Chain A
Amino acid sequence: MTYQFTVSPDFSPDHISGWYIFNTWLQKQTGEAIHLEMYDSFQHQREAIQQEKVDLIYANPYDAAMLVRKKGFLPVAKACGVSDEAVVAVSAENSVDHVEQLQPGIKVAVTEDPDIRLMGMIMLEPADLNASNIEVIVNGTYVLVAKQLLQGNADVGIFFAEAFDDLSDFIKSKLKILVRSQISVIHHSLMIGPKFAYKRNEIVGLLEKMGEDEKGGGVLKSLGFKGWEKVDDEEMEFMIDLMDTLAV
């Protein structure tokens, strides 16, 4: 049978080919037919998960609870040494220097990335801001979030920290960071579904050794990863619990 692999739609556009290369590598290593399906939105991806079409997913932490608790997925691995962090920024011309100075009614530019949005909203709470007293503007990319700030269409932007750091120096010079999260324990993870789970240990082993040969090293490079490290059940459960506390 052919298994379906998919990647959280918040993947960086620079690494889209990396995921295809990774999928080819994984098929060779496991001897299984795996089809990579890239969904253009979280909603479409979640529909596919509901229909049990997905067997392997590089998942956003926000979806991990649903994958594990409702769909029987198990954690496999995460990228070494990286975590999902959020940045809350304003235009450099804005007189606001601290989150606490932000006022109700402001416009907040975000993307659909659910975990980053959640972390960003938590960092706005010290100003008594929440979904009920701000106006959210959803954008397709973080460059567009930055543009909303530069053009004065939004007051605050919530960014994936890595995407913020990857903005051009010119754009960054026009923005001012109010706060950057340092949470460290929230991360994307490769997760495996019930039909494919018998391959879990084998895939963990393959991923852990991936950097050791030239070919695997090249694939890692195209993903922008230093390597993979195993995620065990308890680490995943703990991350899900932590996301739960943030969602209320």
Chain B
Amino acid sequence: MLHDMRPEDIVGEFREKTLDLYGGYRRAVLYTEIETPYPDGKLIVSTTNKDGIITHANKSFVEMSGYTEDEILYAPHSILRHPDMPPAAFKDLWDTVNRGEHWQGYVKNLRKDGGYYWVKATVIPNIRQAKVVSYTSVRRKPSRTKVEECTQLYPTLF
């Protein structure tokens, strides 16, 4: 379960929206227009169990999210869900990895402080002894042209 975002955690002027998350959960998110640039040369890596609960996150993941490692671990991955991301993108993500395939896409993520960061994500099923045991997402720095394309495209997908 994710608790609502709190105004005291937010840096800068913010707007509010309530997200409908998987499983019937709702979460009030507070978000600003402040972008944190993707850190050069780094990969942002996380692993979830089959229910999308984060079981591992690397240092870059923790740093970019603005949360502490304790807050991130065992939280649903939708803790990063930004209201500007169309639900269809995540449906496609889950449908694709559930077929055992790689999913790749550009994602705008929400930070604890209300800011955002763009990533190019590749999500794969982790297969051990012929069974899917978890999922891993590895993110890299996206190009600005792709980010701009997505900024135009995503509002049309709601």
User: Which residues of A are interface residues toward B (Cβ below 8 A)?
Assistant: 99-100, 122-123, 125-128, 179-185, 237-238, 241-242, 244-246, 248
Residue of B nearest to A86 (CB): B41
The 6 closest A-B pairs by CB, nearest first: A245-B138, A245-B122, A181-B41, A128-B143, A126-B141, A179-B41
Partner of A182, one of B42, B126, B137, B146: B42
| Across-interface contacts of A100 in B (CB, < 8 A) | 143-144
**Other-chain contact of A248, B40, B122, B126, B141 (Cβ < 8 Å):** B122
B136 near A245 with CB under 8 A, answer yes
Number of A-B contacts (CB under 8 A): 61
* CB atoms of B143 and A125 under 8 A apart: yes
Is residue B85 contacting chain A, with contact meaning CB distance below 8 A?
A: no
Would you call B40 and A237 a contact (CB within 8 A)?
Answer: no
Would you call A179 and B40 a contact (CB within 8 A)?
A: yes
Given contacts A181-B41, A183-B42, contact A237 B138 (CB under 8 A): no
Interfacial chain B residues near A184, Cβ < 8 Å: 58
Chain A residue nearest in CB terms to B38 = A126
- Please give, as numbers and ranges, the residues of chain B lying within 8 Å of A126 by CB-CB distance: 38, 141-144
Indicate if the CB atoms of A242 and B136 lie closer than 8 Å: yes
Report whether B124 and A244 are in contact in the complex, using a CB–CB cutoff of 8 Å: yes
B104 sits at the interface (CB 8 A): yes
Q: Smallest CB–CB gap between B135 and chain A, Å?
A: 10
- Residues from 43 to 89 in B contacting A, C-beta threshold 8 Å: 43, 45, 58, 60
Roughly how many angstroms separate A244 CA and B125 CA in the complex, as a whole number? Answer: 11
A100 nearest CB neighbor, chain B only = B144
